[in-house]
């Protein structure tokens, strides 16, 4: 097994600090100490707190993209499968993601530039679905509903119980399957 590089160590440490203190209260000194690197070493990799936060957000986006890509690959990979994978990924909140993403979203609300990796991700995903064999408008409804669930869960304000959540999941999966049928009927 390879040793993590300094950027990964710093990002791991920053996520840990954010989970404990929040993104607003994260300091570069605390991250450097947690990562076991000098502050100069941290600044070499991330010259500002904003660049570190943006890298953390990009890393979370990358994790979501990898999760979706893996699910789509395992299931066959066409556009309708990718949409199903998108839905499934929204319903699978891995350990620590909520505690990391919620403060990062708050930091992004305070400094919208930090959300540039998220904007790039959505441009890419929208383009993929727009150029695919799914009905784009219906796919957007499914995606936005999935993302709405994800956001409510990140903010810990999702009002439904597990049975209702499971029905919502099943409904979005059924709708994702219908997007291909609808496009070919038009």
User: pLDDT (tens digit, 9 = 90+) per residue, 25-49?
Assistant: 889 999 999 999 999 999 999 999 9
| Cα distances (angstroms) measured from residue 10 to each of 34, 41, 127 | 8, 9, 32
Q: Which residue has the higher pLDDT, 169 or 79?
A: 169
Residues 155 and 70 in one domain: yes
Residues 8 and 86 in one domain: no
Residues 172 and 120 in one domain: yes
Chain mean pLDDT for the chain: 84
Q: Does the pLDDT at position 1 exceed 60?
A: no
Q: Does the pLDDT at position 186 exceed 60?
A: no
Residue 14, exposed/middle/buried by CB under 10 A (0-12, 13-18, 19+)? buried
- Percentage of the chain surpassing pLDDT 70? 89
Rounded CA-CA distance 125/32 in Å is 34
**Out of 50-54, 60-64, 159-163, which region has the weakest mean confidence (pLDDT)?**
60-64
CB atoms within 10 A of CB 92: 12
Domain that holds residue 38: 1-47
Provide the domain count of the chain: 2
Q: Which residue has the higher pLDDT, 110 or 163?
A: 163
pLDDT confidence of residue 160: 86
pLDDT category at 77 given cuts 50, 70, 90 is low
Dihedral, CA of residue 137, residue 139, residue 145 and residue 148, to nearest 10: -90
Residues 40 and 103 in one domain: no
Residues 4 and 73 in one domain: no
Residue 172 lies in a domain: yes
What average pLDDT does this structure show over 127-155?
Answer: 88
At 53, list the tokens. 């936060």
pLDDT in tens, 89-126: 888 766 567 677 777 777 887 888 888 988 998 999 89
Residue 55 lies in a domain: no
Residue 53 lies in a domain: no
Question: What pTM was computed for the model?
Answer: 0.76
């Amino acid at each position: 097994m390879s040793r993590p590089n300094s950027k990964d160590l710093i990002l791991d440490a920053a996520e840990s600090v954010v989970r404990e203190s929040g993104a607003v209260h994260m300091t570069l000194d605390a991250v450097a100490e947690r990562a076991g690197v000098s502050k100069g070493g941290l600044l070499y990799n991330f010259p500002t707190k904003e660049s570190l936060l943006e890298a953390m957000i990009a890393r979370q986006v990358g994790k979501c993209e990898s999760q979706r890509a893996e699910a789509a690959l395992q299931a066959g990979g066409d556009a309708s499968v990718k949409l199903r994978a998108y839905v499934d990924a929204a319903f699978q909140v891995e350990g620590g993601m909520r505690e990391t993403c919620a403060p990062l979203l708050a930091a992004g609300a305070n400094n919208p530039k930090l959300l540039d990796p998220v904007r790039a991700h959505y441009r890419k995903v929208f383009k993929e679905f727009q150029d695919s064999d799914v009905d784009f408008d219906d796919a957007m409804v499914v995606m936005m509903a999935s993302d709405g669930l994800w956001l409510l869960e990140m903010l810990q304000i999702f009002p439904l119980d597990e049975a209702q959540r499971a029905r919502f999941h099943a409904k979005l999966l059924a709708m994702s399957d219908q997007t291909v049928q609808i496009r070919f009927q038009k």
